[in-house]
Amino acid sequence: MLGQVQAWSALNTGTGNLAGLAEQARLLAAEFAALPGAVELVDPATVTAIAADGKEDEVQYGKHLVLSVRPDAPRRFLLTGHMDTVFPANHPFQHQKWLDGETLNGPGVADMKGGIAVILAALKAFETSPAAVGVGYDVLINSDEETGSLSSAALIARLAQGKTAALTYEPSALPDGTLAGARAGSGNWSLVVTGRSAHAGRNPEDGRNAIVAAAALALGLKALERDGLSVNPAKIEGGSANNVVPDHAVLRFNIRPRFPEVADIFETEIQALIAKVESEHEVRIHRHGAISRPPKPLDARAEKLFGIVEECSALLGHPITRKATGGVCDGNNIAACGVPVVDTMGVRGGAIHSSDEFLIVPSLEERAKLSALVLHRLSLGEPL
């Protein structure tokens, strides 16, 4: 498992590195072919984004790997991971080093090439169990998780349908193995503001300043924060020379709702805010984006699945707990489909999304054993 992680980490798979992702997908397809199912590389769905000039352009993503085992089994599970990292091909963090005898620093070693190794080893072990032949599962390794799974969201939803339970292999919430419990949701938007240009000295009154309108939007958005909702106006782009009233701006922002009803309230309020700014500043505003990660509160079935995972971990000598988090992942999307999911089944590690990212190497074996045991328990027909 360590050899796999080191080989995969040495291959850059930043979300935008299509060549690297294609090679990673090829390597993973060969590895997952060892399991008794069909491996397929699925084309990404079409996704668009707003460029700095306000135009909507298509974004390119890599293919997603899907393994389907015993698709006709009456009881089936979903296991998910991702092959992309946050480190683009030109990022300086491209190499591994040992921090001590059991801690490896390197790009993607925890998030989540270590997690992919855990999935593979756990399923190979599970397939040796007589209980495995009575159940089936799908494995999804997508190529765009780090940017919101926009090109794989529909695929996640399709694969989640009819599943008894799901396991996702993000690294543990803390290096001690703590699981992530409830999660906030996440939405990203771009607001394209169109005003009217004019000379800043001769006739400024004829202009309609898009930058000022975008600033009003940013302040208005921040004022929409409340318990259970954070709003982060992140960037304003636009304008030209200092002597020109800017007729164009793009405001980018993120929200983190903890509950679905909070997200619904925000939708109503942002519509009112946009209408107000359009009226007061005499501009046009186009909204692009959506909530890509719905909030993930824990229901009774999710609590039951967490209980099974925690019991299995204790039996293996690694008692674990869980904590709520504001971070998001594909577990949010799966839970929104009504499927109970534990989404930090991956390795123990930390400092992800930074050049200090590390993997605690013994956790590869620990977490593979845990997943194999959890799958065995689930295969016995225990209701959730």
Q: Name the superfamily (CATH) of residues 2-47+61-184+296-379.
A: Zn peptidases (3.40.630.10)
CA-to-CA distance for 250 and 355, rounded, in angstroms? 30
Tell me the domain boundaries of the chain: 2-47+61-184+296-379, 186-293
The pLDDT-based confidence of 364 (bands split at 50, 70, 90) is very high
pLDDT at 35: 98
CA-to-CA distance for 346 and 303, rounded, in angstroms? 19
Task: Please provide residue 35's backbone torsions phi and psi, each rounded to the nearest 5 degrees.
Answer: -90, 155
Tokens describing residue 278: 């359009």
Could you report the per-residue pLDDT of 230-252, keeping only the tens digit for each? 999 999 999 999 999 999 999 99
CA-to-CA distance for 316 and 214, rounded, in angstroms? 55
* Contact (CB, 8 A) for 17 and 104: no
Count other C-beta atoms under 10 Å from residue 136's C-beta: 20
**pLDDT over 90 (residue 205):** yes
Could you report the per-residue pLDDT of 296-306, keeping only the tens digit for each? 999 999 999 99
Task: Please provide residue 339's backbone torsions phi and psi, each rounded to the nearest 5 degrees.
Answer: -105, 125
* 292: amino acid identity, one letter: S
* 1: amino acid identity, one letter: M
pTM of the model: 0.96
Q: Give domain 186-293's CATH architecture.
A: 2-Layer Sandwich (3.30)
**pLDDT over 90 (residue 382):** no
In terms of phi and psi (left: phi > 0; alpha: psi -120 to 50; beta: otherwise), the region of 358 is beta
**Strand partners for 85:** 14
Length of the chain: 384
The SS3 call for residue 323 is: strand
